[in-house]
Amino acid sequence: MSGNLNQGTSSTHHGQPLDVTAQLLIDDYIERFGDGRGLLIPILYRLQDYLGFIAPEVEEYVAKRLGLKSIEVRGVVSFYSYFTDAPRGKHHLEMCLGTACYVCGGRRLLETIQEEAGIDVGETSADGLFSLQVVRCIGACGLASAVAMNGQVFGRLSPIAARSLIRRLRSGDEMAGQSKPGGGHA
C-alpha cells in the first residue's frame, strides 16, 4: 500500500503536509496499544510500509504523539537501515558487501549496478525505478555475490547478469525480477 502525501493532508507545526491516513494510522495504533517509547519502532515500521519513507513532518507527529523529542525519532530513523527519509525506487536494491559477497566480487558487482542504474549508493534514479543501498549481510553467504531486490535475493549474480537484470527492468519487463521455476533467478 502506498500513500500520497498530496492527498488529504493536515499540517504539522512547521506547516508541512502530513498524510491524513498516516496520521490516523499513528493515532489508531496509539489508541489500541497505549503510548510510550516502546511503540516507536512498531509505528515507524507501519509508516515505512505505508508511505515508503519517513518524512520529517511524520517524525515530528510521531514524536509529539509519543511524548518524545523529534531528535529521538530522527535518531531511530537514521540508525536502522530499514527506515529511510527519502522515497525509494520501485526496485530497491540492497547490495551485500559482507565478507563472502565482497570476496566473491561484490565491489565489482556494486560498480556495475551503479553504472547501469545511473545512481550512487543512497540515491534513487531520476525515473524512480531504482534505489541502491549497501548492507553488510543479507544472510545469503552461500549465494555470494548476492543482491536483494525488494526483499528477494538474487544469488551468484555476475556483473553481466546484473546489467541484464537492470536493463530488462528498465525496459518494463516486470518478469525480470521474478523467480524462475526451480528457484533460479533472472
Task: Please report, for the domain that includes residue 31, its CATH number.
Answer: 1.10.10.1590
Helix (H, G, I), strand (E, B) or coil at 99: helix
- The reply to whether 106 and 147 lie within a common domain is yes
State the residue range of the domain holding 75: 9-79
pLDDT of residue 16: 57
pLDDT of residue 132: 95
- The reply to whether 108 and 128 lie within a common domain is yes
- Global confidence as pTM: 0.69
**DSSP state at residue 11:** E
- Asked if residue 109 belongs to a domain, the reply is yes
- The reply to whether 173 and 95 lie within a common domain is yes
Residues lower than pLDDT 70 in the chain:
1-17, 177-186
Number of domains in the chain: 2
- Asked if residue 182 belongs to a domain, the reply is no
**DSSP state at residue 176:** G
- Asked if residue 186 belongs to a domain, the reply is no
Quick check: bond before 145 cis, omega within 30? yes
- The reply to whether 58 and 100 lie within a common domain is no
pLDDT, tens digit, 9 for 90 and up, residues 5-26? 333 334 333 445 687 888 998 9
CATH classification at residue 143: 3.40.30.10
C-alpha span between 39 and 27 (Å, rounded): 12
pLDDT of residue 98: 95
